[in-house]
Amino acid sequence: MRLIIAIDIGTTHCKAIIVNEQAKVLQAFKHPVTSIQDDTGKFEQDAESIFQLVLNLLQQCIAVVNENDIACISFSAAMHSIMAIDKNGKILTNAFTWADTQSKAYAQQLKSTAAGQSIYNKTGTPIHAMSPLCKIAWLKNEQPDLFAKTAKFISIKEYIFYRLFGKFIVDYGIASATGMFDIYNLCWYAEALAFAGIDENKLSTVVAATHIETALFAKIKQQLNVKTNIPFVAGGNDGCLANIGCGALNKNEAALTIGTSGAVRVTIPKPLIAKARGLFRYILTDEFYITGGPINNGGIVLQWFAENFLSTSIDSKENLDTVISIAAKAPPCANGLLFLPYLLGERAPAWDEDARGIFYGLHITHTKEYLTRAVIEGISFSLFQILNAVEKENPGVEKILVSGIPTQSDWWMQLLADMFGKKIILNDTADASAMGAVFIGMYATGIIKNLQEVKLLMQTVKTFQPDKTVHELYQKQFQVYASLYPKFKCVE
């Protein structure tokens, strides 16, 4: 029996799953990740502590299997993290995550220039403070002494591979989300590097998702209690891998994820060089690219509302059910009440670090039930808006494969079907990003011959069909929702 271990390095948790060749999850482990935040826009993490979490997850997994059964260990990681290290490999900064907006002034300045548009077109990464490109430019100008000491700028995932193997490598998926990688010619993009004030020697060597390393440091092998050379697969970024993990590998299938944040993504063939229009384009493999848009304000917004207005949380299915049961008492469209969920600024479609949230249409008859429903609908509307943008460039999406928080609630899944007017599908994938890493590992080691085979390893658990009458209500409500940000974006 061959087993695949997947490690998923997220912003809020690090997870590990052990999966067999039939894609059945045998065991799972998870540890929370601590972040360092303040009201200046700081959102940082300690990369060394995350490495120790990953090491612990590997120890937990290897302890419960026969190491000779391990086909590979494959990796998924959140996009856009960046940190500085010196020539001796010493950490000089915390890792700045996608949620860190300390570099927003540099992003906003670049975005309005011809160079900014050129960089966006060639790298596929929208110009925003989430981007490592903008974070490096910020460090160059705001902390020049530290910048001068920096030998490498790397992501958390790159740091983990460095600690395991002593090499600076970065997979296509993570590289293509830096804002510095030419996704058409598969090399670091000179114009972006010039803006950041670095050359490619300050960055890692780029490798394919299927790249394998086996030569672990002896000390690490001892810590993991392994004697064989287990293949470690580079993998990709969590967003792209989620498309594989839920089986959304064709242009007529979209993947929708709501976790702390959220995204809508569609898998496409390698795109032609064209003007980018508010969406990202990231690399999965040399055959598959992913286009779509991310939101900052997913489950974290519902958690905020639950804690502050309902005196509960969504940290367990039981608590989420409580919140959903409150929302379900209000009708679709919440009697005209709308919620713009931009509590953390927003990425797609606004790409505005200073965007803010709004309850609009509030009336004395609106109770907590209406407000709760409006929050859930607001999060969902933000993703519906992204799908509309995706379909302008890539029409023909017929069904949406969902992962994350909504999969715990049939009510929310039906709401998505009604709002989007499309079939919503729940596959038997517990964690889409981690399973995507599993499937890349299978592909890299020859267990499957091509990625389309993953569909044979999945089963549809539930399907939700849209109610046309409710969809029409949502279409009218959405027109008002889509008008809110342009009208209110200048309000402080």
Q: Count Cα neighbours of 15 within 13 Å in the Cβ-side half-sphere.
A: 22
Regarding whether 482 and 353 lie in a shared domain, the answer is: yes
267 with 289: CB under 8 angstroms? Answer: yes
| Within-domain flag for 281 | yes
Regarding whether 264 and 170 lie in a shared domain, the answer is: no
Provide DSSP, 358-406: EEES--TT--HHHHHHHHHHHHHHHHHHHHHHHHHHS----EEEEEEGG
| Within-domain flag for 274 | yes
Which residues make Cβ contacts (< 8 Å) with residue 230, sequence separation at least 6? 67, 70, 72, 73, 214, 216
Instruction: Give start and end residues of each alpha helix (H) in 67-185.
Output: 104-111, 114-123, 132-142, 144-149, 156-165, 172-175
369 with 323: CB under 8 angstroms? Answer: no
| Within-domain flag for 186 | yes
489 — pLDDT class (breaks 50, 70, 90): confident
Question: Residue 68: exposed, middle, or buried by beta-carbon count in 10 A (0-12, 13-18, 19+)?
Answer: exposed
- Cα–Cα distance, 491 to 357 (Å, whole number): 11
- Cα–Cα distance, 452 to 435 (Å, whole number): 14
- pLDDT at 491 (0 to 100): 47
Regarding whether 306 and 230 lie in a shared domain, the answer is: no
pLDDT in tens, 161-195: 999 999 999 999 999 999 999 999 999 999 999 99
Provide DSSP, 254-279: EEEEESSSEEEEEEESPPPS----S-
pLDDT in tens, 230-243: 999 999 999 999 99
Last residue of a domain, one of 208, 239, 270: 239
Encoded amino acid at 236, one letter: G
Regarding whether 264 and 220 lie in a shared domain, the answer is: no
Across the chain, mean pLDDT equals 95
Provide DSSP, 127-149: SSTTSHHHHHHHHHHH-HHHHHH
Regarding whether 283 and 214 lie in a shared domain, the answer is: no
Count of structural domains, the chain: 2
149, 152, 154, 158: CA torsion to nearest 10: -130
pLDDT in tens, 38-82: 989 999 999 999 999 999 999 999 999 999 999 999 999 999 999
Q: Read off the pTM.
A: 0.93
- pLDDT at 274 (0 to 100): 64
Regarding whether 55 and 77 lie in a shared domain, the answer is: yes
Encoded amino acid at 438, one letter: V
Regarding whether 379 and 408 lie in a shared domain, the answer is: yes
Last residue of a domain, one of 239, 265, 280: 239
CATH code of the domain covering residue 186: 3.30.420.40
* Mean of pLDDT values over 378-396: 95
Whose CA is closest to 62, among 234, 215, 238, 222? 222
| Within-domain flag for 444 | no
| Within-domain flag for 357 | yes
| Within-domain flag for 447 | no
**Which domain, by its residues, includes 153?**
3-239
404: left (phi over 0), alpha (psi -120 to 50) or beta: left
pLDDT in tens, 67-125: 999 999 999 999 999 999 999 999 999 999 999 999 999 999 999 899 999 999 999 99
**β-bridge mates for residue 44, sequence order:** 36, 96
What's the token pair of residue 63? 């302890």
Regarding whether 262 and 299 lie in a shared domain, the answer is: yes
290 with 266: CB under 8 angstroms? Answer: yes
Regarding whether 108 and 130 lie in a shared domain, the answer is: yes
Say whether pLDDT at 492 is over 70: no
- pLDDT at 156 (0 to 100): 98
- Cα–Cα distance, 28 to 25 (Å, whole number): 7
Regarding whether 142 and 288 lie in a shared domain, the answer is: no
201-229: string of b/e by CB count within 10 Å (b at 16+)?
ebbbebbbbbbbbeebeeeebeebebeee
Which residues make Cβ contacts (< 8 Å) with residue 483, sequence separation at least 6? none
Regarding whether 59 and 203 lie in a shared domain, the answer is: yes
Last residue of a domain, one of 239, 267, 298: 239
Regarding whether 230 and 204 lie in a shared domain, the answer is: yes
